[in-house]
Chain A
């Protein structure tokens, strides 16, 4: 059983006795990599890159958005429907799969790909984020995350070894290290430093525990809050460990967007060019286009799929506060709250010109779905959620496709101007200051006359 993996004779982890500086990176074994990363183009103005990531289950064009199939299913969709949206890589959550169906079942079935009949790529998180976001009273010690069982309240411990072992059982193509996640808005600088140092130490434990480096890619997670100095240190330490890919973690936790951009910009400046960079938990279209300009490649967020679903009874409790966002369709001008009465008599597609199966007219093999009908079934029929999820995921993937094409054509600055102009109806005074500032930093002035 997994818990026995942590042998009683194993060294005792204490928080303060081991500091990052003392750790020798040479003792860390060189990791094989189960991916190849081909860069095709770099934007001549911004730091944006277009590349292809070859993973064990197929090629992923980068930059990419990854929809989140938390419990091995995406909001009522079959995997053929997900394939139809063009998705090559989606997420599963380790915490949820660890509870249901559990490691024993995953081992018996032969991993998550077999479980869900998905022949493309999977990425799993470490489970650490759910500890902090879903559970109260989670405390982090050097050993791991201590938390109370969500069901009976007894104390539990999640260690880096547990997390990696579970992800080995899941068999995802990209696995994430367990990191010490704290809110970026935390005022306690010492704690942030501690979390950063600990994440590095946990990375070493994850690397040591990882059984299948030749078919699963372990990504490290850069921590360090909003302190750029800490982020730099963390980048240095983690880059030295030479993991196949690198994630920037601890963001999208309510920090100011300016800060978010600074952190991404700083990290990408220090990371090697030849590795994919994944900004965790970022998924609003505006954040993505800016982060791409800052040199990031991969993004994930539940927002486009959660926002499509308006069936609270089927949602676990922690999500119910998201109520007001459900039933939204993502379009190039922002989002449509499809349940609003304005759409009751609107017989246009959810988005004009969208090529998803819902919006495409029937003579082009689509369903010819109208806003009026979506309004009619949204929040009343689960099918409404399925259809809106298809549209939203397709929208995000299509946006990424356009971003990639713009970078390949070296037209990304023009893409950015059009993107913000579409959302704000051409009114430059409404452009968010953080985006304008961040893009100015990489040589694009959104406010200039094009």
Chain B
């Protein structure tokens, strides 16, 4: 399970350290392109797991719900998307007293979790204790467990149970348990967060990869150690341990705030960084990449699809067209009736499954009719847009033009006169309410009798 930024070098050191390591081939390797592995700079890498799809980084990680990518069925993922990794939260599977997922029959080389969720064996699977984004749990975490929300309610997940679960389920990447606060933590809580996370990581590495564990019982999965969304100083002891004692057992880092990228110790800079954050726009994604994130979560993709919004951005930004002024939208609202008879694809020239086979008028119709296919098609398109976006980012970094490309098209406008107000106007609220009231009274074109008549369905009498 050893990571190797520069495989040869690490293996040399490893062979000196323990002889047993030679017997175990490195399960995961992460190689950075370019000589340096700088902190706080965009970087391109390649994450390979034996027998799995290779992930070129930076890359987005699709998030799952109960083992499915929302809206798109397994055969569609396989046949019509380029999804090459999945993040799964254990809390989606353990609502029952004896969860079925642990009983999944699987051969020694197979992952029961993949078997259970019917995910192809070559799909890199990342397992963490909680879904992402996780719903905050009112019950508090304890020194030995975290609170989580299953489909039937809150429960505690002891760290020992989590370790047993990852040992059983054999994902490709394990995200270590971290004590995360629901709200901005105070001083006391911060100290607790660090102590608990420190203890859990120690326990995890000891129980999974420690000297007392027989070589064949050690999981092949790569362990990503959590870094808390706190200041450097507050978790310095933990970070020091990561650098020294834990260094040989961790294969990557899981971060929960883009600011944490600054605290990645120099000696761990070769490790892949999985950033659990909720960027609101591609601008934020680009910022996180520029700080050195390798694997990123982008919940806004799913949120856009849920809202019927088709993403429409590319990186580097295409040259402005003739007469193009001002800002371009990041997405198109497919609920808008302007698409009602538009038989053009969602994005001109797009090669995604939805654009090649269907058109705006259909997707608009499906949304209006609240047919599930609408969300499936939009989700497929949005994932495709993200794939292209990240491919553009990687090329741009390799070309060495990343900073310029961000400035040219993705620079957030400086504060100016046309900025939206930070706070809603204190006055005029009565009018707002009135407006809302009037809006609710206006029938949409297909609702009343004259609408029916206009649609040719029947005649008013």
Contacts and interface: CB of A to CB of B under 8 A. Distances in A.
A81 B369 contact: no
A415 interface: no
A156 interface: yes
B338 interface: no
Given A155-B460, A157-B459, A382-B375, A100 B362 contact: no
A21 interface: no
Interface in A42-79: 71-79
Contacts of B375: 76, 382
A397 to B, nearest CB: 17
Contact of B456 (A98, A116, A357, A380): A98
A190 interface: no
Contact of B371 (A71, A154, A372, A384): A71
A373 B373 contact: no
Contacts of A385: 372
Contacts of B455: 98-99, 102-104
Contacts of B431: none
B75 to A, nearest CB: 5
A127 B67 CA distance: 40
Contacts of B461: 146, 155-157
Contacts of B362: 72, 115-117
Interface stretch (B82-90, B216-224, B327-335, B446-454): B446-454
A233 B39 CA distance: 87
B446 A109 contact: no
Contacts of B118: 367-370, 373
A152 B449 contact: yes
Contact of B340 (A72, A79, A105, A149): A105
B459 A159 contact: yes
A381 interface: yes
A78 B449 contact: no
A96 B369 contact: yes
A387 interface: yes
B116 interface: yes
B343 to A, nearest CB: 6
B72 interface: yes
B6 to A, nearest CB: 36
B366 A73 contact: yes
Contacts of B447: 151-152
Contacts of B101: 376
Interface residues of B, number: 66
A99 B456 CA distance: 9
Contacts of A368: 115, 118
A157 B458 contact: yes
B26 to A, nearest CB: 27
B210 to A, nearest CB: 32
B277 interface: no
B361 A115 contact: yes
Interface in A149-172: 149, 151-152, 154-159, 162, 165-166, 169
B358 interface: yes
B70 A156 contact: no
A98 B75 contact: no
A78 B373 CA distance: 7
Contact of B343 (A75, A109, A372, A386): A109
Contacts of B140: none
B247 interface: no
Contacts of B69: 383
Interface stretch (A1-9, A202-210, A402-410): A1-9
B457 A158 contact: yes
A8 B377 CA distance: 46
Of the listed residues A79, A104, A367, A385, the one surrounded by the most CB atoms of chain B closer than 10 A to its CB is A367
B448 A373 contact: no
B376 interface: yes
Given A98-B456, A149-B448, A105 B75 contact: no
A362 interface: yes
B1 to A, nearest CB: 26
Contacts of A95: 457
Contacts of A256: none
A105 B341 contact: yes
Interface in A295-320: 311, 314
A-B pairs, top 8 by smallest CB distance, nearest first, are A76-B372, A154-B449, A2-B456, A103-B456, A102-B455, A98-B457, A108-B341, A71-B369
Interface of B: 65-76, 78-80, 93, 96, 100-101, 103-105, 115-118, 120, 151, 340-341, 343, 353, 357-359, 361-362, 364-366, 368-377, 443, 446-449, 451-461
Given A78-B80, A80-B357, A358-B75, 5 more contacts: A78-B373, A99-B452, A102-B446, A104-B341, A151-B443
